Amino acid sequence: SFCFLSSESFNTIDFACIARMCMFEPSYPTQHPSTRSPHIKSYARVFEGDEYQLRRRFGVEKAEETLSWSMLTSACLSRGAQGEATPHRPEDSDEMNFTNFELGVLFISRLSTDTLSNRVYCWKPSKCRCARHFQNEDSIVKMIHLPLPYRLRPHAYVQNEEEEAELCETPYFHEIPSGSGFIRNMRLTPLGASLAAKRF
């Protein structure tokens, strides 16, 4: 459960963003003997829908998790990596400024009438459908296992999204400057609530 921020930075984040933060939980079986959070940036859209229809219409095999897409990248969510609108640009322009060079690989699941190119990226498929086992089964969707080092549905820091919700755990902060540990968002954390109680 790592959040590499100072408490000052954490205090400026909108609560709607904090409510979506999750704790790091290693995948099981673990892909690495260490349970530390890996230094990677990855984003994924986990399929949320009627998996029965996927199996019925396209022959998709069962998997523990099915991904619409997944991206492994060096790009964090900073303005330098994601870009920001160029100052004073014309209204009809989509010109952006980027200050970082980033690299990434995007894995996109594909289902269509062309069964030879159909593929679904997933976590722990029930059967191996990789290339070497797939040559004589062109009517079945390729199930490609992505060895992700973390659980795709981890526990959230916030148990509900009410405005007064409290975090069930204190995120890790690399520093807590003096006077910032018990104000604003920090008061939602167990540590911040404890510091505020001692102060007042």
* pTM of the complete model beyond 0.75: no
34-43 long-range contacts, CB within 8 A, separation 24+:
37/1, 37/2, 37/150, 38/149, 38/150, 40/72, 40/149, 41/72, 41/73, 41/74, 41/75, 41/76, 42/70, 42/71, 42/72, 42/73, 42/148, 43/70, 43/71, 43/73
What is the 8-class DSSP label of residue 22? B
What is the 8-class DSSP label of residue 131? G
Q: What is the pLDDT along the chain (200 residues), one digit of tens a residue?
A: 455 678 888 888 888 888 778 888 888 777 666 666 667 788 889 887 777 777 777 778 888 889 999 999 988 878 888 888 888 888 899 898 888 888 999 999 988 777 777 888 998 887 766 555 555 555 578 888 888 888 888 888 776 655 556 788 888 787 888 888 888 888 888 888 888 888 76
